[in-house]
Chain A
Amino acid sequence: MNNLLRKGNRGKFFSKFLANYGQEIVLLSSMIILFIVVSQVNPRFLGGNNLNTIFSGNAYIGVAAIGMSILIITGNIDVSVGALIGVLATICGTLAVSGYPIWIAWFAPVVVGMIVNSIVGFIVAYAGIPSIVVTLGMMSILRGGLISVTGGDWITDMPEEFFLAQQNFLGIRVPLLTLIFLTTIMFYLMSNTTWGRSLYAIGGNSEAARTSGIDLKRGVVLAFAIHGMFVGFATILFATQLNIIASTVPPNLELTVITASVIGGVSIMGGTGTVIGSTLATILFAAIGSSLIFIGVSAYWLRAIMGILILSTVLADMARRRRASL
């Protein structure tokens, strides 16, 4: 009987794999096709410099998207992530130029990120205010606070060793390495630990999670704290990649991070998705942005074309999901 079962399972393995990782497969194949096509048009696209920009320059978005995916899977969201990265980067840079040891400068954003998000998580879980609202308020506080404290000044003259994101390790840029490492580890932890599985349970059916003895509130606070940790990691990569730290972050950074999670297959309703998807989506969108330049699209139309691409991905995804549910 066992033999029979196993055989049946193996037969179904492929279709199950497709059903479970459909979004990841779509993203990966789109990326491969993109690289092949664009490199035919303009071989310089595959040049080392450009690949570096695509993979490493955007790695911090991917790292933040890992944290965001964890949150969204539990049915929450964080719209303050862009503002938080700005604040943490300033803290990080200020410590570095004030003569503190480098490791403290690197460590601080992680700790502060966790503290800030734990507070948010606490309000969400224990006061019952929806996360989109709390983080909207938090965004206002962080953004306003940052500008009023820095007065819009840039931080420069950080010590040489500070620039972690400019280092290579085993011939690969540190940001890309970090992204791959964190994605792998989180993917593993989320599918193979009770903590990981409980995230899906909280987002999928919180009533059921409660009667199953999962402590919902603690689970939500923990998810926010871990998200804060990833925002901290993202900040280190963001702050150490250029020689200056501006007191502003790219506009709509929070929306870019959320988009990466969602396009990566994390359902905004909570309960599904993997971090591999969000990482692939980050890289894919960076690659698309870069390839548009390489095939000679006017910079002014870049965002419109990205918008159309995001929209078509969303529509294709909806169609796929509807077919899957039939």
Chain B
Amino acid sequence: MKDDSALTLRIENATKSFAGVTVLNDVSFDLKKGEVHALLGENGAGKSTLIKILSGVHLPDRGKIILENREHVFNSPKDAFKNGIATVYQELLVFPELTVAENIFLGHTPKRHGFLIDWKKIKSDARKILDNLDSHDLDVDARVGSLSVANRQRVEIAKALSQKTKVLIMDEPTAALADTDVRRLITVVKRLKEQGVSILYVSHKMPEIFEIADKVSVLRDGNHVGTFDILDVTEDLLVSKMVGRSVDKLYPSSKGSHGTPILEVSDLSDGVRFSNASFILHRGEILGIAGVVGSGRSELAQTIFGINSSKSGSIKVDGRKVLIKKPRDARNLGIAYIPEDRGTQGLVKEMKISQNISMANLDREARGILILSQQEILNAMNAIKKIGIRARSAVQVVRQLSGGNQQKVVVAKWLQTEPRILVMDEPTRGIDVGAKAEIHALMRDLADQGMAILMISSELPEVLGMSDRVLVMNAGQIKAEFSKDQATPENVGAIMTEKVEEVA
């Protein structure tokens, strides 16, 4: 009855356009039973459109979805789900006020007498599914709002598996996860594969792909570039297929010389998330802070920038002790902070590019309180040219830009304030390979011109590739410092993750 090489899902000639722009053009590939199939492509390559077609959010203009030898037309997400295709989205779509068990069975709740919820069955079934995912520690009665990101994701996966699931689509499942949680997720994926579930796995992270995928399909500009057996390809080859050119070097090289100290932090504590942080940042240097989510690194950066207040310790800029009580104080000292979450912290997406770029510097550019709008647009046009933001015009609304270009707008906003110290929190999270390389090159350029850069990242290759020096944070403390030569994935990674306790 079971044929392990059986075809589960076939996509044939899927084509979709929005408002005359073709975002997916004639894409076909197969997904076999129990196969982990990675889907690669830059942002805008058509991955999310393809996922949305498979999960019933969009109808394709042309093309077929064939599930277990039968052609299907999915009119709604519910349709796809009923037929065994479940999706775990990047932005987790859970209900914070409902319990774990309720979230898992939402939309197909077991009932008694036709309309009463069968709580006993919900809870015991939820328990079974979670246990199967090695999540014995997750309480089925807990409110989902009180869970960590990793645990919420487990709830999402459990929800996806609460019905007879044949195909599980995972959209960048590790984008917001710390390394230990990534390990747990990979274990789960492998287990599902053993149980015969086919998995379509979308990710930017190469190491994961090489660890779990059997096949990999690459999309570029809506076209299917090819499907490869994972054993036949290298990372460089995949990257060049994605961007359509070869990326010679992943990280720009450092000149290796830096100047005098500009920022001196000593014994800084916020009383909650980090304590006794001390370090010195020099002109022309990129200082990396490696740490997992929750290690206190973002809180440290935000305290330096005046978003949070410090309990004790001191900050010196140019050798002089300073008091930073609000972001404006920091800016006036020449400190800029590019936040971790560009959607909520970095940008006002409804506003124009020009208005976003001027936002942190507007009081300086205005005459009194009067905004000089010609000047504002001119400044934006210059920044767009300088940083290479791909936009129709300076007055385009930011929401319409791709993730990478949005990130560049945030960078442009803060460069507009002419900072001397640039704090970058996860500068390339969730953006595609091409934009990532451009931002890395820009960072190196700025450092070479004398800018002092403090870069926070949970991506080890980025920290190691970019930094002149690496600090490692864990559980609110700076645990170690490495020079560029000493810093290896092994010793940095070990300190980043040692005895990390789950914070639920």
Contact = CB atoms under 8 A, between A and B. Distances in A.
Tell me, yes or no, whether A binds B: yes
Interface of A: 9, 16, 192-195, 197-198, 200-201, 204-205, 207-214, 271-272
A320 B184 CA distance: 35
A197 B117 contact: yes
20 contacts: A192-B116, A197-B98, A197-B106, A200-B97, A201-B98, A204-B96, A204-B97, A204-B98, A205-B94, A208-B93, A211-B55, A211-B77, A211-B89, A212-B106, A212-B107, A214-B106, A214-B107, A271-B95, A271-B97, A272-B97
Given A9-B141, A208-B93, A213-B77, A201 B106 contact: yes
Interface residues of B, number: 26
A193 B94 CA distance: 19
B141 A16 contact: yes
Given A193-B117, A213-B76, A205 B95 contact: yes
Contact of A205 (B81, B93, B117, B119): B93
Given A212-B106, A214-B107, 4 more contacts: A194-B109, A211-B55, A212-B77, A214-B106
Contacts of B97: 200, 204, 271-272
Nearest to A20: B143
Query: For chain A, what secondary structure do more than half of its interface residues adopt (helix, strand, loop), or is it mixed?
Result: helix
Interface in B48-79: 55, 57, 76-78
A193 B108 CA distance: 12
Contacts of A205: 93-96
A271 B87 CA distance: 24
B102 interface: yes
A198 to B, nearest CB: 8
B95 A213 contact: no
A205 B97 CA distance: 9
Contacts of A214: 106-107
Contact of A271 (B76, B96, B117): B96
A208 B115 contact: no
A211 B78 CA distance: 7
Given A204-B98, A213-B77, A214-B107, A194 B117 contact: yes
Contacts of B111: 194
Interface in B79-103: 81, 87, 89, 91, 93-98, 102
A98 B81 CA distance: 56
A226 to B, nearest CB: 15
A213 B81 contact: yes
A205 B102 CA distance: 14
A9 B98 CA distance: 17
Contacts of B95: 200-201, 204-205, 208-209, 271
Q: Is the interface of B mostly helix, strand, loop or mixed?
A: loop
Contact of B115 (A195, A201, A210, A212): A195
Given A193-B117, A194-B111, A195-B115, A211 B57 contact: yes
Contacts of B141: 9, 16
What are the 7 A-B residue pairs with the smallest beta carbon separation, nearest first? A213-B78, A208-B93, A212-B107, A213-B107, A204-B95, A271-B97, A204-B97
The interface centre, meaning the residue of B55, B81, B102, B115 with most chain A CB atoms within 10 A of its CB, is B115
For A201, A209, A212, A272, the residue with the greatest tally of chain B CB atoms inside 10 Å of its CB is: A212
A193 B76 CA distance: 23
B304 to A, nearest CB: 24
A193 B115 contact: yes
A271 B144 CA distance: 13
Given A194-B111, A212-B107, A213-B107, A207 B93 contact: yes
Contacts of A197: 98, 102, 106, 109, 117
Nearest to B119: A192
B47 to A, nearest CB: 17
B124 to A, nearest CB: 9
A100 to B, nearest CB: 34
Contacts of A192: 116-117, 119
A187 to B, nearest CB: 14
A200 B106 CA distance: 11
A189 to B, nearest CB: 9
Interface string B103-136: 0001111010001110100000000000000000
Contacts of B76: 213
A273 to B, nearest CB: 9
A234 to B, nearest CB: 25
Nearest to A19: B143
B116 A210 contact: no
B111 to A, nearest CB: 7
A213 B111 CA distance: 17
Contacts of B91: 207
A200 B77 contact: no
A16 B97 CA distance: 13
A5 B98 CA distance: 20
Contacts of B87: 211
A201 B115 CA distance: 17
Nearest to A209: B95
Nearest to A272: B97
A214 B77 CA distance: 10
A3 to B, nearest CB: 14
Nearest to A5: B127
A65 B96 CA distance: 24
Contacts of A9: 141
